[in-house]
Amino acid sequence: MSQTITPYLLYEDVAAALDFLARAFGFREHLRLTGSEGYVNHAEMRLGDGAIFLGDPGDTYRNPKRLGQETVGVYVEVDDVDAHHAQATGAGAEIVAEPEDQAYGHRRYTAVDPEGHHWFFAQPIAEVAAEEWGAEVGAA
């Protein structure tokens, strides 16, 4: 069996998040579960072969924006990071770092969604050995 890791992001307004993530970042809605209370409890979105889950954990949840701090970062590889950046910018995404080539061989930019989740979108542009940019492979 192959292993898959799927981020499960919590949102105060899942319906609004579904709309924003589709417009700004190109995700496609795959599944939506609206509870008896009338709001979206769970949803799933896809981008290429990747997936994310979204959920509303209830009234006691506070998103990163309300907390005033970054709580998680989601790293997503895309085919054309500059075109992706243009789409996100055009949709009003908050860009906190413009596209820039990184020492590890990716071109990357950073955006923040309306609820404060940080998204790193990157495109591989060169193969760079981990040791060349200061990392250790298989470090324990």
pLDDT, tens digit, for every residue of 91-130? 999 999 999 999 999 999 999 999 999 999 999 999 999 9
45 phi and psi angles, rounded to 5 deg: -130, 155
pLDDT, tens digit, for every residue of 11-20? 999 999 999 9
8-60+70-133: CATH homologous superfamily?
2,3-Dihydroxybiphenyl 1,2-Dioxygenase, domain 1 (3.10.180.10)
In the chain, where the domains are located: 8-60+70-133
Residue 139: the pLDDT is 58
pLDDT, tens digit, for every residue of 47-73? 999 999 999 988 888 888 989 888 989
- In this structure, what is the dihedral angle of CA atoms 88, 108, 63, 113, given to the nearest 10 degrees? -10
Residue 119, exposed/middle/buried by CB under 10 A (0-12, 13-18, 19+)? buried
The residue that leads in pLDDT, 28 or 59, is 28
